[in-house]
Structure 1
């Protein structure tokens, strides 16, 4: 994982997960650059840190996507909730990655 700042994260995304770059840039412009408001930076970093951590681990990313897809197709609310909880847990774990890991 890169250093925990927007510039380093963007560089890592560009180099290792370019499929995320357009959405990253669009989100940055919409919520931060175009508003000149730095308040959303911590939330922005948390979201994109996790997205990048998942993207750099294709097996984990596929597992999360599969759980979310299963939840969307579940007929039972409790089952859908359990599947989404498992996906959310994996996302949280991915988001705990530290720089240099």
Structure 2
């Protein structure tokens, strides 16, 4: 009987350049499940508003969303944290779970292009 090699874990794609076009391209390629919401939010917050002052806040949000979604393990961990928090009857436990999720979101916002 031959042993089967474990399937390689797909590499987490690097963060793109920090601009809306590059981020959208990365989302389309590596996290297409986010693309419709990204486009809808862009249209509402920037394009239809004719207001480029909203771009930094838009980028901050979607930078973090992509950073999590591009990593299947991290994405699953975040979903698990939210699921466990929503089902918890212990307020301290729910708070701790949501604080962990918040900490992760804060950390991924600090990623730089190429990381």
Common fold, TM-score beyond 0.5? yes
Larger Rg: 2
State the 1:25 CA deviation.
0.1
Greater fraction helix: 1
Matching of residue 35 in structure 1 with residue 70 in structure 2: no
Matching of residue 4 in structure 1 with residue 18 in structure 2: yes
From 83, 86, 90, give the equivalent of 1:72: 86
From 23, 27, 31, give the equivalent of 1:17: 31
Runs ≥4 in structure 1, deviation > 4 angstroms? none
In 2, the alpha carbon distance for the partners of 1:27 and 1:98 equals 23
Unaligned runs of 5+ in 1: none
Task: Give the paired residue count.
Answer: 101
What is the match of residue 60 of structure 1?
74
Compute the TM-score of the two structures, normalised by the length of structure 1: 0.95
SS at match of 1:84: helix
SS at match of 1:39: helix
In 1, the alpha carbon distance for the partners of 2:48 and 2:62 equals 18
Compute the TM-score of the two structures, normalised by the length of structure 2: 0.84
RMSD: 0.8
Unaligned runs of 5+ in 2: 1-14
